[in-house]
């Protein structure tokens, strides 16, 4: 059975010691899904706001990228990382779902899954924020890690 890496032998919170780890190329991909009510979807993607939808999507992308830069401020045990790449992609799925994927990568001693998760989450929250005037029935259905890779240098 695995142990919690963020707890010491006295079960107190700690930052994971990565001093002995080797530097490697690390990539993580996280996803959030936003479900828009039919009326919101119709307004944004087919109705009077169809032109503005790109501003909603663009703002969510920028918010997600900026959020991952602030990750060290909101997640107290994360290592402060300067990512080498962060990309957010937002696609329409099914009738009224936006699939938000955040890919983060770095060459370092520790992974970037938290940065990818934060980027996807904040992008989803930004979509909610920008669309909530039309309805409060927007649902952020799930946020999850899709992939985590490490390649030795």
Per DSSP, the three-state class of 74 is helix
Let me know how long the chain is. Answer: 153
CA 49/CA 20 separation, integer angstroms = 53
What does DSSP say about strands 139-152 and 85-93: parallel, antiparallel, or unpaired?
unpaired
Which residue is catalytic, options 3, 75, 129, 137?
129
Q: Which strand (E) or helix (H) includes residue 139?
A: strand 139-152
Is residue 30 within 8 Å of 117, Cβ to Cβ? yes
Catalytic residue list contains 38: no
DSSP state of 3: -
Active site residues: 129
């Amino acid at each position: 059975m695995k142990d919690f890496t963020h707890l010491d032998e006295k079960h107190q919170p700690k930052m994971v010691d990565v001093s002995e780890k080797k530097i490697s190329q690390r990539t993580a991909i996280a996803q959030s899904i936003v479900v828009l009510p039919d009326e919101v979807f119709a307004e944004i993607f087919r109705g009077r706001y169809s032109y503005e939808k790109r501003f909603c999507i663009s703002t969510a992308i920028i918010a997600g990228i900026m959020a991952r830069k602030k990750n060290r401020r909101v997640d107290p045990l994360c290592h402060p990382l300067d990512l080498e790449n962060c990309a957010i992609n937002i696609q329409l799925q099914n009738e009224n779902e936006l699939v938000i994927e955040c890919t983060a990568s770095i060459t370092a001693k520790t992974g970037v899954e938290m940065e990818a998760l934060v980027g996807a989450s904040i992008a989803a929250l930004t979509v909610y924020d920008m669309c909530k005037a039309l309805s409060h029935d927007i649902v952020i259905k799930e946020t999850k890690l899709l992939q985590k890779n490490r390649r030795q240098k």
